Amino acid sequence: MLHSSLNKGIHYMAKYTMDMVLEYAKVFEENRDMGNDSSAGKKIVKHGGQYVVNAYFTDEAQVEQLLSEGLDPKPLGYDRIKEGSDFGIGKYIKCARMHDHKMTFADKKGKETEVDFGGSPKVVNFTNGMENKSWWDMTDDGELGNGTSAKVQFETYSNGAGIRLLALGVTDHVAWESTSGPSADDEMFKVG
């Protein structure tokens, strides 16, 4: 955690680790979200991509804890806690971090310090028990599919308006399945 005098503009509030269910886990360098030409996508492109996951709550008490401890439920007018699929309790938060995200802070004497908030999050394999934990390797262990259970570590900042992904501890892996192949509907639109 940064010393508060170096923290102007960031204001970290708290760090959390929660048992959650993952959706759209783009948390490795090989599969990070690289952005696009939309206004939000251009920011992602500028930072060399982002690591992102929809993290579904597994208990309503998790939501209540975050809100009672200062998470802003509507930063910039958008719902922070979103309704989603049937994972967990059906509510999730988007946890992300930019790939390249260095910031410079000055203390009260004007001394500047550069801090790197970017890079891929830590991903740990807990599927063989905590005593046998190891780093998750996307090539050997596979991508994280929708429905994967994990301990999700994140922090809130800027008076509860921001959430930054720190780490994932995979407890129950669901293999990722590609949905980009041709479907039966695609065949309907072929002629000749």
Bigger pLDDT: 39 or 45?
Answer: 45
pLDDT in tens, 128-142: 999 999 999 999 999
Contact 110, 78 (CB under 8 A): no
Say what the pLDDT of residue 109 is: 87
β-bridge partners, 163 = 156
User: Which positions ≥6 away from 181 have C-beta within 8 Å?
Assistant: none
Question: No. of H helices and E strands in the chain?
Answer: 4, 10
Say what the pLDDT of residue 97 is: 92
Average pLDDT of span 110-116: 76
Mean of the per-residue pLDDT values for the chain? 84
Query: Which domains are delineated in the chain?
Result: 4-188 (2.40.50)
pLDDT in tens, 55-92: 999 999 999 999 999 999 998 888 999 999 999 999 99
pLDDT at 39 over 90: no
Does the pTM surpass 0.85? The reply is no
Amino acid, res. 122: K
